[in-house]
Amino acid sequence: MLDNTHSFRFFNRGPSPMARLVFFAMLSLLLMFIDARYRYLESARGTLSVIVAPIQALATLPGRIWNQVGDYFSAQSDLKNQNQLLGRQHLGDAAQLAQLQSLQAENQQLRKLAALSARATYSSQLAEVIYIERDLFKRKVIVNKGADAHLQAGQVVMDDEGIVGQITRVYPWLSEVTLITEKDHVVPVQVLRNGLRTIIFGAGDTSQLKLRYMPISADLVEGDMLVTSGIDGIYPAGIPVAKVTRIERDAAYPFARVTCLPVGGVDKHRHLLILSSLPKLPELPAAEPGSEDGKNPKARRKK
């Protein structure tokens, strides 16, 4: 059995560690000098980099995966926040756009009303609808002009397209307007095409009016425009009222069923024109004394 001294000498053959350090240091300096001077080791470095590249990629793979996962969740969070922000902005922009469109439509209607008032032969004043009748079966609205603006019951109300209604009640600062579509509300009209006079009635529906007691032989066709006739002393002549949309003629009945569509925006616009009152028509002449109508009841009883 070898002792410890012999075993130590057996495993410690060769130069000492200091000699090895000096040798490899000198070798490194020599290789660095040769590489810097003559570029002999470039091919070796290229080959070595190709061999080491997969190892480097494998070593950096966990870090890259971690960074990609972090970037993914960060991007998801950012996209979610941006989506919510854009959604809120879209809702705000949509509301603003709707408001601007409403203002634009209102502005256009006001321009038309101003132009109509300027070229009309009768005076008028602008009013704004502030209330509507809560009863669904009544076609009435409340405007912001009343006795303070010298309004009177019976004055005609219209928009830039045609007749809308008539003032039926006046308050100190407000007025009630009954729409022409109010059930059994009447407006004397005539057919613009041929001058045929008749009376149009409200049907209790803002989308239609009725022509009653029209003979089936009357010269009336779909699409005819009806305007005010002006023979009642209330509505000025020549203002559009409605357009004929449907005519039903049945030989079994003496009268045709005629449905019309209002021309004015009876349930659309906020601003309306209130026309001044027309001059009063002369009173009907009194019955002659010798006529049957002029006799008093006592004379008729004596007979």
Average pLDDT over residues 107-131: 71
Question: At residue 112, does pLDDT exceed 90?
Answer: no
Question: At residue 206, does pLDDT exceed 80?
Answer: yes
Q: Which of 179, 184, 149 is nearest to 167 (CA)?
A: 179
For 41, which DSSP code? S
Greater confidence (114 vs 216) lies with 216
Q: How many CB atoms lie within 10 A of CB 269?
A: 20
Average pLDDT, the chain: 79
- Residue the block writes with tokens 């209130």: 274
Q: What is the pLDDT of residue 297?
A: 47
Structural tokens at position 39 = 């570029």
The type of residue at 75 is A
Query: Minimum mean pLDDT among 107-111, 194-198, 214-218, 276-280: which range?
Result: 107-111
112, 270 contact by CB (below 8 A): no
Q: Give pTM, 2 decimals.
A: 0.58
Question: At residue 283, does pLDDT exceed 60?
Answer: yes
d(CA 262, CA 242): 4
Contacts of 42 (CB under 8 A, 6+ apart): 35
Q: What is the pLDDT of residue 284?
A: 66
Question: Cα dihedral angle (7, 10, 15, 20), rounded to 10 degrees?
Answer: -70
pLDDT band at 109 (very low <50, low <70, confident <90, very high): low
d(CA 175, CA 159): 16
Average pLDDT over residues 40-57: 74
Q: Which of 231, 230, 179, 220 is nearest to 203 (CA)?
A: 179
Task: Give tens-digit pLDDT for 60-106.
Answer: 888 788 888 878 888 888 888 888 888 877 777 777 777 676 666 66
